[in-house]
Structure 1
């Protein structure tokens, strides 16, 4: 198996008002190139925390996490930021668009900062791919939640990442918009041949994944094949 993401005995503990809280307990998991992996489980089970570890957005307090053969646990914050910029796309439940930038600027700016000379051309192509070319000059406040999530998807895939991470991408959307985002997410995954890991409460979305990993109390339950 060509492994893209690998976790070995990964642990996460955070300091809170009540002392040190253990969030994840010794998780070992491999994700293959091109695989779509769904992370499911009840609220507070550690799904989003696990996704953040995979993206280097949270640092493990134990074990080892590697992506594309690189050990994320030994990287500095700057190295992690560059690695994400070059290899990962991240989609959050809240869209995290810059309110003072147009849709086109929101998609193009990360690529422009990375030195891509064709940033705006690629950004427009991705907006077209998510059906929002006509919204390129609109600001987030002028768009619906579904449209903002489409812009966020376009921004995540525009750099053509190897790994696409999505944290409850339909969580803030109604059923109709949520279904459209699900379809787009998988279309974009196929178009860019990316490995996709997503956190979801949606059984429908989980069923479309190649594999489902269920978490409970910060531990992985026995794995099941998606229907």
Structure 2
């Protein structure tokens, strides 16, 4: 693999539990190519979501190294990590994480405003239209269905044209038909923007759409790593 966009070397994560330290990840070695779609699968508690959070700098490894776009995430402080994510990553969560006091348009514009983009609202409006929610731009999250809220979250994740898209069970809170529509949209957005997509999923049919699938078990890679 040439020029990986994400590189993890002997990555470990240990957290403090009620009964003492808990090993979440136990020596992960993984490289993700530019433009690749990678599915992370495995049983609950296997470390999938924790691994995704480490890739996004949302959690810090307690051992090993995580590099994204050639940058060592472990060497950055919280402010540096936030700026790096803002410019290079889009993250989509199962629970949407929209700001309830902001309209759909305002939610999508947030990362652009933080980056100082003068045309933040014009770009946000265009992105909402791209996900089929142009007429709902003025609605608040509480006025939107689950599928609509996830569309807003997708629009927010891709509006900055990130190089890396991270998705943690993006259809987990949706019914099967709505979830399928969201996944079609996610893959379409990834392809149109040329981003690298890493997705945690329990759904075999979603994992099958990825270029490569990596299985985790007990904090270790079980299959498919390269």
Work out whether the TM-score is over 0.5: yes
Q: What's the Cα RMSD here?
A: 1.0
Within the alignment, does 1:123 sit opposite 2:115 as a pair? no
TM-score (ref. length: structure 2): 0.98
Within the alignment, does 1:162 sit opposite 2:152 as a pair? no
Cα contact 2:213–2:224 (8 A) shared by 1: yes
Within the alignment, does 1:43 sit opposite 2:8 as a pair? no
Cα contact 2:165–2:197 (8 A) shared by 1: yes
Aligned equivalents of 2:104, 2:200: Cα separation in 1: 25
The answer for the alignment partner of 1:194 in structure 2 is: 195
After superposition, residues 1-227 of structure 1 pair within 5 angstroms as: 1-223=2-224
Q: Deviation at 1:17?
A: 1.2
Note closer, same or farther for the CA distance 1:146–1:10 as it changes in structure 2 (3 Å cut).
same
Aligned equivalents of 2:148, 2:35: Cα separation in 1: 27
Q: Deviation at 1:139?
A: 0.3
TM-score (ref. length: structure 1): 0.98
Deviations 1:61-112 (A, max 9, x none): 0000000000001110110000000000000000000001000000002211
Aligned equivalents of 2:114, 2:59: Cα separation in 1: 23
Q: Which 4+ residue blocks in structure 1 deviate beyond 6 angstroms? A: none
Aligned equivalents of 2:119, 2:210: Cα separation in 1: 33
Cα contact 2:29–2:225 (8 A) shared by 1: no
Aligned equivalents of 2:68, 2:114: Cα separation in 1: 22
Deviations 1:150-190 (A, max 9, x none): 00000000000000000000000000100000000000001
Q: How many residues align?
A: 225
Deviations 1:119-138 (A, max 9, x none): 11110111011100010000
Aligned equivalents of 1:89, 1:109: Cα separation in 2: 12
Aligned equivalents of 1:37, 1:109: Cα separation in 2: 27
Cα contact 2:30–2:225 (8 A) shared by 1: no
Cα contact 2:216–2:223 (8 A) shared by 1: no
Aligned-partner SS, 1:221: strand
